[in-house]
Amino acid sequence: MMARIAVVIGGTRQIGRAMAVRLLVGGWTVRLVSRGRCTDAAGLVKLGAEHIRMDRDESGTLSSRSL
């Protein structure tokens, strides 16, 4: 079986957070992408998510990262 990996952009707020929780409960590997502080993602990190700080306004951010 292939690994199920989800990248949730905006994963520390409302809809993204709810989606991340459902994915984690469903056995997915979840990578949260947000501009915010890691403390915003702390609860989800405790559930097994990985938090990646990234700002789309910073030049080259998306092209230089491996999600």
CA distances from 17 to 42, 48, 63 (A): 11, 13, 24
What is the mean pLDDT of the segment spanning 38-53? 87
Domains in the chain, number: 1
Measured distance between the N- and C-terminal CA atoms of the chain, rounded to whole angstroms:
20
**What average pLDDT does range 24-38 have in this prediction?**
88
Q: What is the mean pLDDT of residues 37-66?
A: 79
Q: Which tops the pLDDT comparison, 51 or 60?
A: 51
pTM value > 0.75: yes
What is the domain range of residue 21? Answer: 5-64
| Domain CATH code at residue 16 | 3.40.50.720
Task: Answer yes or no: is pLDDT of 65 > 70.
Answer: no
Helix residue ranges, H only, the chain: 14-25, 42-46, 61-64
Report residue 7 as tokens: 């990248």
**Can you tell me whether residue 39 is helix, strand or coil?**
helix
Q: What is the pLDDT of residues 2-25, one digit of tens each?
A: 889 999 988 888 899 999 999 999
